[in-house]
Amino acid sequence: MQTNSAGPGGEDGFPADILIALDRSKSRGLRVQVEHALREAIRLGRLPSGSTMPPSRTLASELRISRSVVVEAYDQLVAEGYLVARQGSATWVCGPRQVDGPRPTSVRRDGTGDAFPSGLPDPASFPKRDWLRHYQAVLSDPPAGAFGYPDPRGAASLRCALAQYLGRVRAVRTTPEQVLVCGGISQGLGLVCRALRRRGATRIAVEDPCLWLHRRLISAAGLEPVPIPVDDDGIDVSRLARASVDAVLVAPAHSFPTGAVLSPDRRVTLIKLASAGGVILIEDDYDAEFRYDRTPIGALQGLSPDHVVYAGTASKMLSPALRLGWLAAPLWLMDDLQRAKLLDDVATETLGQLTLARFIERGALASHLRRMRPRYRRRRDRLIDALARHVPQATPAGAAAGLHLYLRLPHSAVESDVVEVAREHGLHVEGAARHWATPTTAPPAILIGYANLEEDALEQAIQALGRAIEEAARQPGIH
């Protein structure tokens, strides 16, 4: 690898401490590399607002590249608002407000990296004031035992609130004794796997594709995940009978990541299979509160409560930072679940549970969801509209639901290239491949989380995505 750095160049006003490293051994375009380096330098403040950029000729000669490469890179950054150019005068770096303001998409600055998928709720819309009010009320008048070790099953008030809420909103048939509070669905799934394993289970069917983490959690609990294909009607239930599995993990309301909804026929088949005692269903109901085109379909659990473990979460409705989720399970599984929870982390933190209980009981959750649905729906509609205009070669898939969109790319597209180039344009999109059991044969697709897409920035963001797809197609060597 050979690198060049630009500088000192003080006469040009180009700060001596800005390093542009070019890797000529990479087949990736030099222009993309220059653009990326300058964009990052501006974002990180290494090229401060108001500083003058070196003339393109000077920079090109220092980097030993053609001047036109630098001119194109500057043009692109001017179009994105990072640089300002006036005819006959220097090019300079724009004020930080313009570049550090709302990011066009869900750029991660929170340290979670890429472990978790797209589709986070809008952090700016978290109901801070209400949450704080209920939290303070809990602290001012804590129930007996609030500061002792919590019940592994969860706080009684939250289990009561959830049993009622789930019955009303999701047609779940349960009681507080059958609800177990956990650290999100992720922990809940691990608990269910361990409880089933104690009872002799060895294999769990999973949708293919499904959230990659779920396959890992199942394996970590000592069970084998068995991938079953998903099509536009959800999981292919006809394959289940032959799969010889003990349980099926399924997201019937909104399969992840494709967004498919389980068809009515398949719901019936699945319930018959479970009710006949063939398998236990684990229903992942992670984002069912957000359905934009019709009333959400009730949970499968309500059709066969003794054979379905229902799993819900606050991660989409409020925030994944709360780490609050819940299981509504058949009574016969509760002791094993409670034991698994105790051995995992003793119990879930109490104050957040008590706050959520009040939040549900006093109607704050319902009004938050009423506020968020139209907002998310509008963002989704705008996204689909912008995609049709700027990225016509890609196809959105799935129901009008949830907080993410699954976008099928043309077969010729290389998913990782599109993701990489899109990120260089400041767009955080996620490649879908890792969610497939065999990523190497996955059709090219990306996930776009739209809940925190600023509507004003959306147009620009999707234009950039269209350019990214074209650019990636022109550079078949990136990967």
Site residues, ligand PLP (CB under 6 A) = 116-117, 119, 184-186, 211, 251, 256, 284, 286, 313, 315, 320, 325
Q: How is residue 224 annotated by DSSP?
A: E
Amino acid at 166: L
CB nearer ligand PLP, residue 138 or residue 206:
206
Report d(CA 298, CA 281) in Å as an integer. 15
CB nearer ligand PLP, residue 119 or residue 305:
119
Nearest to 315 by CA among 382, 428, 402, 377: 402
Phi-psi region of 393 (alpha: psi -120 to 50; beta: other; left: phi over 0): alpha
Phi-psi region of 443 (alpha: psi -120 to 50; beta: other; left: phi over 0): beta
Nearest to 360 by CA among 219, 179, 225: 179
CB nearer ligand PLP, residue 41 or residue 180:
180
CB nearer ligand PLP, residue 7 or residue 439:
439
CB nearer ligand PLP, residue 119 or residue 444:
119
Closest distance to ligand PLP from the beta carbon of 236 (Å): 18
CB nearer ligand PLP, residue 77 or residue 448:
448
CB nearer ligand PLP, residue 151 or residue 430:
430
Report d(CA 385, CA 399) in Å as an integer. 15
Token duo for residue 190: 């691990």
CB nearer ligand PLP, residue 82 or residue 256:
256
Residue nearest to ligand PLP (CB): 184
Closest distance to ligand PLP from the beta carbon of 117 (Å): 5
Report d(CA 145, CA 122) in Å as an integer. 34
CB nearer ligand PLP, residue 99 or residue 210:
210
CB 424 within 8 A of CB 35: yes
Closest distance to ligand PLP from the beta carbon of 402 (Å): 9
Report d(CA 95, CA 136) in Å as an integer. 40
CA-angle at 312, arms to 371 and 346, nearest 5°: 125
Closest distance to ligand PLP from the beta carbon of 186 (Å): 3
> Which residue, chain included where needed, has tokens 């177990």?
180
Burial 411-448 (b: 16+ CB within 10 A, else e): eebbbebbbbbbbbbbbbbbbbbbbbbeeeebebbbbb
Beta strand pairing call for 325-328 and 179-182: antiparallel
Report d(CA 379, CA 37) in Å as an integer. 31
Closest distance to ligand PLP from the beta carbon of 184 (Å): 3
- Cβ-Cβ contacts under 8 Å for 112 (sequence gap 6 or more): none
